[in-house]
Amino acid sequence: MARKWASAAVMLYLVIAAFMYWYIFNGADPQVPTVLKGTAADPATFLNARELMLSEKYSGIRNFLYFISTPYEWLFYFLILLVGLSRAIERWANSVSRWRVLQTAVYLFWLSLLSYIVLFPFNYIGYALGKSYNITTQTFTSWMKDEVIAFWINFGTMVVIVSVLYWLMKKSSKNWWLHAWLLSIPFTLFMMFVQPVLIDPLYNDFYPLKNKELEAKILEMANRADISAEHVYEVNMAEKTNSLNAYVTGIGSNSRIVLWDTTLNRLKDNEILFIMAHEMAHYVEKHIYFGMAAYLLLTFIGLWITARSMDYIVRCWGDVLKIPSVSSIGSLPLFLLITAVLLFASEPLSNSLSRYQETRADKYAIEMTGDSKAAVRTFQELTRSGLSQVNPPSLVKWFRYSHPTMLERISMVENYRPGTIGKSE
């Protein structure tokens, strides 16, 4: 039976890959709607023919890689159970020590290493693709350094999470998922608090904005928005990418607004001020906290479904999957498989909520700056620097876009009338 299941899983993966190839490169229509042709939202008005061609090719390949690498990871988790490799690693880990935490660490190290090796081709192709299209400027050595850092951070975090998770499974076979969810609340808050000061600096250097004149303008705008801020931070991304970005990170006293130096180098002051007003909107409208609440709600539902699914699968097919019990550490690939599928299935909903917040932030920025022309130029430059697809296929938008498409953002800015935010739309 295991061989039939493996063959069926591989065949299903190939069918998914073939469908996504057809859909992205042949089935979807990336053309701009007729009503928007010739407007500022039409990429033909601000990209030359070569940039248009490159943006379509680059975006298409990146989207295809995403839609085949995601089920590829699921396939890995499924096959490692079927062939008994997870069970073999568990037995070896158990023979190393009597301490359960050490057993978990040993098991996780080999599972993480194997997972990284299996998924490395997709990671490298993504890196090489960015280099070939001049999006990525990072050297291979620097990229591998970031990969190693990420591996050890993820490994250390997973040792803590998995050790607690499987301890709960042994202590409460029925309600472990509820206890795990309750513990995830302070853990999530802790990670969001330390992210800007402990984790992010491992990858890049952060420092207060060097352009003090621009910083004064930003802080004055923050004061008008009743945001207490002492510094705006910039980060040295030019050595890694040509893309532009700015973001809000952290919570409480560790919250901060961060600008990439590429953004500072490529955009004019009024365009940067629009970006800053957009980021300030996330503070003013408490988007971080609403997003965190939505995440915790989805985690609650996801853990409940995962617990019920694992009980059923192990009870019915535990012998085939080489899983003696749910609380056995060898069941971890099943846990990761189910949660990964659930996370993917929830993307359209979470992305939809995020796009709503981003639209609100765009409108807030127009209200604050009163400069819709700067907003349009900003979105156009973001499109050019990242070779973004202005009008992506629907499936790509649902599963990949946490922000509105550039077509939607530019069109909204052109048609938005200041003074209407907060009113029924």
Active site residue 269: no
126-185 residue pLDDT tens: 999 999 999 999 999 999 999 999 999 999 999 999 999 999 999 998 999 999 999 999
Domains in the chain: how many in total? Answer: 1
Which of 90, 279, 371, 408 is flagged as catalytic? 279
Instruction: Decide if 343 is inside a domain.
Output: yes
> Is residue 175 one of the residues assigned to a domain?
yes
Confidence (pLDDT) at 96: 87
> Does a structural domain hold residue 75?
yes
The active-site residue, picked from 362, 367, 408, 414, is 362
Q: How confident is the model at residue 424 (pLDDT cuts 50, 70, 90)?
A: very low
Q: What is the pTM of this model?
A: 0.91
Give the whole-angstrom CA distance, residue 63 versus residue 401.
11
Contact 300, 311 (CB under 8 A): no
State pLDDT tens for residues 68-109: 999 999 999 999 999 999 999 999 999 988 888 999 999 999
Using alpha carbons, select from 346, 347, 345, 323 the residue that is nearest to residue 335: 323
Residue 259 resides in a domain:
no
Residue 381 among known ligand-binding residues: no
Is 117 a residue whose pLDDT tops 50? yes
Q: Do residues 234 and 259 make contact, with C-beta atoms less than 8 angstroms apart?
A: yes
- Is 287 annotated to bind a ligand? Reply is no
Q: Which domain holds residue 313?
A: 2-203+286-415
225 domain residue, yes or no: no
| Residue 278 annotated as lining a ligand binding site | yes
Could you confirm whether 371 is annotated as catalytic? no
- CA-CA distance, 24 to 18, in Å (whole number)? 10
Classify residue 226: in a domain, yes or no: no
Q: Tell how strand 256-260 and strand 233-235 pair up.
A: parallel
**Tokens read off for 18:** 């073939």
What is the spatial distance between Cα 118 and Cα 108, in angstroms, rounded to a whole number? Answer: 15
Residue 385 in any domain: the answer is yes
Determine the pLDDT at residue 420.
61
DSSP state of 254: G
pLDDT tens column, 219-271:
888 888 777 766 788 999 999 999 998 887 777 777 778 899 999 999 999 99
Specify if 422 maps to a domain.
no
